[in-house]
Amino acid sequence: MRKSIFRASRAVNRLYSTIRHAEPAQTSPKPPSNPNKRNLEDLTPSDLCYYWDTKAPNTDQLAFADKIFIPSRHSPIKLWSASKFRTTPLSSIEPEVAFLGRSNVGKSSLLNAIMGQEICWTSSKPGRTREMNAFGIGGTKGGESKVVLLDMPGYGKASRAEWGMEIMKYLQGRKQLRRAFILIDSEHGIKQKDADILGLFRRYAIPHQIILSKIDKVITRTKKQAKTGVSDVGIQRLQCMLKDMKPVIQPDPYTSGGPGALGEILTCSADVSVGPGQALGVDAIRWSILSAAGIDGSLEGGRLARL
């Protein structure tokens, strides 16, 4: 029963998101209901993220990224699940990006927001994702996906040592892997387990990037408040947090064992909607995924244009 409800709601979601994407709203920015606040939908990647090694994407690039992720009959598509590295498919040629982080940090919720569909299981109980789950994006009929996203089991509470070993084997041995995105919960900051994982990424020179999750808890006091907009104080609080993270995630490579994270910290709130089918911060994350996979482009005059 539960399964059939889930299947039905997925079908409705798929249809709904296609309709929503097919008819983009032609609205001009509305003034915030509180003049001392800014609308969440008016916030740009420069407000929400911290770029020091790269440039923030412009509106054409964000539109390009959103367009690649529009759900269709062939995208997103569940490709495979594996609990052991040796059972992951070897022959695939599509570029892969993996999403990691402590249990409950919001990985599956974020992936659903990125893919525009409730395709990953989410839970308030930690340790529910027990396998690596791969999803293809941007595929066409009979064609390969443009990029593959991986939802990984969480580390920390309710995780198992064997999962950690399999994840490390994947990260070190997978030639298709272009970048690992490590989620940090904005409410808790970088914990010891996160610091340990970051150390391993440096030691094995695995390309990685940080995403700060659940930022609704930093920029507004409650999710309800977010509806009336966000104050400059909330944005400044977030920016201070990002600046404090810089030396931790990108320490001196000569003394810290290897190359640190990419100098671009992204943020998101999978729970906060900023428009039809769009959660806060997700467009910039989509753009980074495509950049990692080498599919950068921009949307000019409504048409896809590769850079």
Ligand X SMILES: Nc1nc2c(ncn2[C@@H]2O[C@H](COP(=O)(O)OP(=O)(O)O)[C@@H](O)[C@H]2O)c(=O)[nH]1
Q: Rule CB under 6 A: is residue 197 a binding residue for ligand X?
A: no
Task: List % helix, strand, coil for the chain (3-state, nearest 5).
Answer: 35, 20, 40
Smaller CB separation from ligand X, 22 or 161: 161
- Pattern 113-152, binding to ligand X, x per CB under 6 A? ---------xxx----x-----------------------
Query: Contacting ligand X (CB under 6 A), which of 45, 138, 154, 156?
Result: 154
Q: Rule CB under 6 A: is residue 106 a binding residue for ligand X?
A: yes
Smaller CB separation from ligand X, 123 or 140: 123
Residue whose token pair is 């498919």: 89
Which residues within the stretch 109-148 sit at the binding site for Mg ion (CB under 5 A)? Answer: 129
* Amino acid at residue number 105: V
- Name the token pair of 283: 């467009």
**Considering the complex, what minimum distance in angstroms separates the CB of residue 279 from Mg ion?**
16
From the list Mg ion, ligand X, none, partner contacted by residue 96 (C-beta under 5 to 8 A by kind): none
**Considering the complex, what minimum distance in angstroms separates the CB of residue 304 from ligand X?**
29
Q: How far is CA 143 from the centre of its chain?
A: 24
By DSSP bridging, strand 303-306 and strand 147-151 are unpaired
Using CA atoms, how far apart are residues 295 and 197, in angstroms rounded to an integer? Answer: 28
In angstroms, the Cα distances linking 32 to 86, 178, 227, 272 are: 53, 40, 9, 16
From the list ligand X, Mg ion, none, partner contacted by residue 17 (C-beta under 5 to 8 A by kind): none
Query: Contacting ligand X (CB under 6 A), which of 96, 166, 216, 264?
Result: 216
**Considering the complex, what minimum distance in angstroms separates the CB of residue 256 from ligand X?**
26
Q: Which helix (H) or strand (E) holds 201?
A: helix 192-203
- Name the token pair of 104: 């409950």
Using CA atoms, how far apart are residues 304 and 283, in angstroms rounded to an integer? Answer: 16
* Region from 44-52, 169-177, 196-204, 212-220 binding ligand X, contact rule CB under 6 A: 212-220
Q: Which helix (H) or strand (E) holds 13?
A: helix 2-22
Applying CB under 5 A, which residues contact Mg ion?
A: 107-108, 129
